[in-house]
């Protein structure tokens, strides 16, 4: 399973990365951690003609607290967040793949990939994070609620790159939990809850993270529009939602 040929470009600044994206157009893709992208390329499911490597754009690294804003650079790895003592954000990292995935995979990469079950997508929506993007016309902040448009589809323009994520600081009490048959698998269903706002964000129940409110897990599960799928019925998925929302609140309460 070898990838199709491409041309490789390396950017050392965000501005240069934007320049390259603009120049190379739709056939170009950014590569950061590559944990999703390279696998897809090895299967030849993704065949970008150009790869723009941004792993050396040092300005995209780092975690800083800026008053009431927690700023996480897009190239921050899941492992760096895991070790950074950031409450639920760090705790949720144990669900992201396995250790070697976490040492390379990045927060920005996960958000840009927009898998509806991905932990970062759920957390961004849970906390109303803002996705900061840089493009040829400058920098903009996109609220998470406007960011995920469909399966693996975001509001990012093709010539934009994510530079950082901004979360509220301090983070409210919250928890994320998920279910899969095996450790490290993508979640069948994932639930992230915030105790203060009683916001619930669900993954695996729609093309994008789904938001609900309240503590009544059964009601939340019942209100979802779900379809039977091969191997997983709507009924079972609803049951998983009920269980995970309940357990997430329990975990958040203990935290």
Partner 1 sequence: MIQLIELTVNGERHDLAVEPRRTLVDVLRHDLRLTGTHVGCEHGICGACTVLVDGSPARACLLFAAQVEGADIRTVESLSADGALNDLQQCFSEHHGLQCGFCTPGMLMLAEGYLAEEPAATKEEIREVVASNLCRCTGYQTIVEAIDDCATRRRAAFQDQLDGSTA
Partner 2 sequence: MAEPSLRRDGAWVGASVPRREDPRLLAGRGRFVDDIALPGMLHAQFVRSTEAHAEVLGVDLSEVRAVPGVVAAYSAADLDLRDITALLDRPATEFVPTAMPVLARDKVRYVGEPVAIVVAKDAYAAEDGVEAAIVEYAPLEPVVSDLGALAEGAPLVHAEAPRNTLVDVSLFATEGIDAVFAAADTVVEVRSKTGRQNALPLETRGVVAEWDDRDEQLRVQTCTQVPHQVRTVLAQCVGLDEKQVRVTVPDMGGGFGQKCVVGREEIAAAAAALRLRRPVKWIEDRRDALTAAFLAREQRYAVRAAFSASGEILALDADVLCDMGAYSCYPFTAGIEPLMASAEMPGVYRIPAYRVRGRAVTTNKAPTAPYRGVSRPQYVMVMERVMEKAARALGMDAVELRRRNVITVFPYTGVNAITYDPGSYLESLDLCEQTLRDEGWFSRRTAEDKVLGIGFACFSERTGYGSGAFAQRRMQVVPGFDISEIRMDLDGTVSVTTGTLSHGQSHETTMAQIVADRLGVPYDRVKIVQGDTDRITYGWGSFASRSITIGGSAVAAASVKLGDQLREIAAHLLGGDPEAAVLAEGGVRVGDSWLSYPEIADVAYLKAHLLPKGVGPGLQATASFDVAGDGTFSNATHGVVVELDPGTGGVEILRYVCVEDCGVAIHPQVVEGQARGGIAQGIAGALFEEVRYDDAGQPLAPSFMEYKVPTAAEIPDVRIEHLETPCAFTESGAKGAGEGGTIGAPAAVLNAVNDALRHTGIELDDTPIPREAIFRALEVSR
Closest to partner 1 by CB, 36 or 194: 36
Closest to partner 1 by CB, 99 or 223: 99
Per rule CB under 8 A, is residue 38 in the interface with partner 2?
Answer: no
Taking CB within 5 to 8 Å according to partner kind, which of partner 2, partner 1, none is near residue 243? partner 2
Taking CB within 5 to 8 Å according to partner kind, which of partner 1, partner 2, none is near residue 225? none
- Give dist(CA 125, CA 148) in Å, integer: 9
Per rule CB under 8 A, is residue 183 in the interface with partner 1?
Answer: yes
- Cα Dmax for the chain: 52
DSSP 190: E
Q: Confirm if 107 and 101 have CB atoms less than 8 A apart.
A: no
Structure tokens at 213: 């409110």
Q: Confirm if 67 and 169 have CB atoms less than 8 A apart.
A: yes
Phi, psi of 152 (to 5 degrees): 55, 30
Residues 155-174: x where in contact with partner 2 by CB under 8 A, - otherwise, as a string: --------------------
Query: How big is the site for partner 1, counted in residues (CB under 8 A)?
Result: 29
**Given candidates 15, 25, 26, 99, which one binds partner 1 under the rule CB under 8 A?**
99
197 Cβ neighbours under 8 A, 6+ residues apart: 172
Per rule CB under 8 A, is residue 186 in the interface with partner 2?
Answer: yes
205 Cβ neighbours under 8 A, 6+ residues apart: 189, 224, 226, 237, 241
Q: In what side-by-side order are the strands of the sheet with 69-73?
A: 63-66, 69-73, 161-168, 130-135, 138-143
Q: What are the residue ranges of helices labelled H in 75-191?
A: 78-82, 88-92, 99-104, 107-113, 119-126, 144-147
Q: Counting Cβ atoms within 10 Å, is residue 76 exposed (0-12), middle (13-18) or buried (19+)? A: buried
Among the residue ranges 33-41, 67-75, 200-208, 232-240, the one whose residues contact partner 1 (CB under 8 A) = 33-41
Per rule CB under 8 A, is residue 181 in the interface with partner 1?
Answer: no
Per rule CB under 8 A, is residue 215 in the interface with partner 2?
Answer: no
Per rule CB under 8 A, is residue 35 in the interface with partner 1?
Answer: yes
Per rule CB under 8 A, is residue 61 in the interface with partner 2?
Answer: no
Per rule CB under 8 A, is residue 13 in the interface with partner 1?
Answer: no
Half-sphere exposure in the Cβ direction for 19 (13 Å, CA): 8
Per rule CB under 8 A, is residue 1 in the interface with partner 2?
Answer: yes
Residues 75-94: x where in contact with partner 1 by CB under 8 A, - otherwise, as a string: ----x---------------
Closest to partner 2 by CB, 74 or 241: 241
Binding-site ranges for partner 2 (CB under 8 A): 1-5, 43-44, 179, 181-186, 230-233, 235-236, 239-240, 242-244, 246-247
Binding-site ranges for partner 1 (CB under 8 A): 1-8, 10, 31, 34-35, 38-39, 41-43, 51, 53, 55, 79, 98-101, 103-104, 183-184
């Amino acid at each position: 399973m070898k990838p199709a040929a491409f041309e490789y470009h390396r950017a050392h600044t965000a501005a240069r990365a934007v320049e390259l994206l603009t120049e190379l157009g739709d056939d170009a893709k950014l590569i950061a951690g590559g944990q999703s992208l390279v696998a897809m390329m090895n299967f030849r499911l993704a065949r970008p003609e150009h790869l723009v490597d941004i792993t050396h754009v040092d300005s995209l690294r780092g975690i800083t607290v800026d008053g009431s804003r927690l700023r996480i650079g897009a190239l921050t790895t899941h492992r760096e967040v895991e070790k950074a003592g950031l409450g639920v954000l760090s705790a949720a990292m144990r669900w992201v793949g396995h250790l070697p995935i976490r040492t390379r995979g990045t927060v920005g990469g996960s958000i840009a990939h927009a898998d509806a079950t991905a932990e970062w997508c759920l957390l961004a929506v849970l906390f109303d994070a803002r996705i900061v993007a840089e493009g040829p016309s400058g920098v903009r902040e996109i609220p998470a609620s406007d960011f995920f448009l469909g399966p693996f589809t975001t509001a990012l323009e093709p010539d934009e790159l994510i530079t950082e994520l901004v979360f509220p600081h301090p983070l409210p009490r919250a928890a994320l939990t998920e279910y899969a048959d095996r450790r490290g698998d993508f979640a069948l269903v994932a639930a992230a809850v915030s105790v203060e706002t009683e916001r619930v964000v669900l993954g695996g129940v729609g093309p994008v993270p789904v938001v609900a409110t309240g503590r009544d897990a059964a009601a939340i599960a019942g209100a979802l529009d779900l379809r039977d799928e091969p191997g997983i019925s709507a009924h079972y998925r609803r049951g998983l939602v009920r269980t995970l929302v309940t357990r997430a609140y329990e975990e958040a309460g203990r935290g």
